[in-house]
Amino acid sequence: MVSQKITEISVTPISAYYPHEIGRNARNTGHGISGIEWLVRAKTEGGIEGLTIANAFLSNLGGNSVEELMKLLREVFLGIRINDLLEISDGRVVKPKPNPGRAFRQNGWMSILAYDLAGRELGVSAIELLGGKVRDRVPAYDTTLYFQDLRNPDNLNDGIASVVDEAKEAHSLGWRQMKIKVGRGGRWMSPASGAQRDADVVNSIREAVGPETILYVDANFGYKNRLDLLEFFIKETLPANLGWLEEMIPPSLAEYKELRRMQERLGSNALLVCGEVDRDPISYVYMDMAEEGVFDGYQPDIVSQGFSRWKQIEDQLSGTKIVSQPHCFGNGNFGTRAALIYGASCEGFISLEDERIAPNVYEEDEFKFKNGTYEVADAAGLGLNVDEEIFQRKYSHNEERIVT
């Protein structure tokens, strides 16, 4: 059978609404009520459609334009046959083909489109192309608990009730894992007051959601140069039994060794996870840290790095004890599906970072969320399809399209 040729590509901004306003973290001033999914649709002459998003290309970090994006998509995909994108053997992707592979190295999000198209043409899930399913359900955590106490400073109890109420709401909707932003003293409060507020928020949430809910924390480097206050925070939150400590300090072999010693001294069993900011993984500092075993989970973004790059990352980490824990915030509903697919195929995967984006442009399907996990449905490619009626009614007026 002759592989199908890609004859049409479009790019459309899709609104992605959070379950509530997202406040500050240790670094930025807040995300507001919504983000954007820069939806890329690639269609073939025979009607196959694959999807990805180009958020990484059009982000503030990238600084690129839609015109540049369309030019890149034309060069890499338009007029190309699906089987010219990936080298597949025994039902598994071995590596990208040379020409697209060069583009994927700089734009990993493109490789997800290639996996989606290949899976749909072959009639298999992208999970199979990634190596096969290792779990039937993928755990997920609510990642929306930011510094709401600083957004609503007039509330009782220093505004802590604002964060606690959102955690209680998430728990009532079935979330059994949550990540709490900490690091207030890095920018928005004095260091000591910020560390105390961090601890008070974490312990208050633990009391509200009970002992069975897994709690993670993420400081976005808010404890930089303050290992003394980090020790205070870890000690104060020991009763909360945290699942992991994320990016408490910037990457440093020496300081992570000290952080490990600190945990041992205090009796903390929390995992140490980091690497969200590693834009060209695996950089030397993270590889040095991985080889020394001073952290536990590695976090480059699932969409910006893409499936092909993440498989390379896993190969590089194979001689270590580090597990895969991809970052996913800012990728909307598409990112949730991409992380779910990858998590279903990855043995060491811990939990999917979920923004809990409201339904927007995709059809409802069988990848259902219940009691803290997503069901892994049997579907070709990513199993994610655009609801054409919604797309035409709400989003098509902003669509940019190129054809052969």
Q: What is the CATH number of the domain that holds 60?
A: 3.30.390.10
Q: Do 276 and 198 share a structural domain?
A: yes
Q: Do 208 and 235 share a structural domain?
A: yes
Does some domain include residue 380? no
Q: Do 44 and 73 share a structural domain?
A: yes
Range of the domain at 390: 6-125+385-403
Q: Do 69 and 192 share a structural domain?
A: no
pLDDT in tens, the chain (404 residues): 899 999 999 999 999 999 999 999 999 999 999 999 999 999 999 999 999 999 999 987 767 999 999 999 999 999 999 999 999 999 999 999 999 999 999 999 999 999 999 999 999 999 999 999 999 999 999 999 999 999 876 655 678 999 999 999 999 999 999 999 999 999 999 999 999 999 999 999 999 999 999 999 999 999 999 999 999 999 999 999 999 999 999 999 999 999 999 999 999 999 999 999 999 999 999 999 999 999 999 999 999 999 999 999 999 999 999 999 999 999 999 999 999 999 999 999 999 999 999 999 999 999 999 999 999 999 999 999 999 999 999 999 999 999 99
In terms of Cβ atoms closer than 10 Å to its own Cβ (0-12, 13-18, 19+), residue 128 is: middle
Q: Do 228 and 101 share a structural domain?
A: no
**Which CATH number covers residue 221?**
3.20.20.120
For the chain, the domain total comes to: 2
Q: Do 174 and 117 share a structural domain?
A: no
Q: Do 190 and 46 share a structural domain?
A: no
Does some domain include residue 48? yes
Q: Do 141 and 75 share a structural domain?
A: no
Does some domain include residue 130? no
Does some domain include residue 132? no
Q: Do 353 and 220 share a structural domain?
A: yes
Does some domain include residue 318? yes
Pairing of the two strands 400-403 and 177-181? unpaired
Q: Do 209 and 320 share a structural domain?
A: yes
Does some domain include residue 131? no
Cα dihedral 43, 49, 50, 52, rounded to 10, equals 80
Q: Is the peptide bond before 282 cis (omega within 30 degrees of 0)?
A: yes
Q: Do 390 and 359 share a structural domain?
A: no
Q: Do 354 and 276 share a structural domain?
A: yes
Q: How far is the C-alpha of 4 from the C-alpha of 153, rounded, in Å?
A: 57
Cα dihedral 192, 194, 198, 203, rounded to 10, equals 60
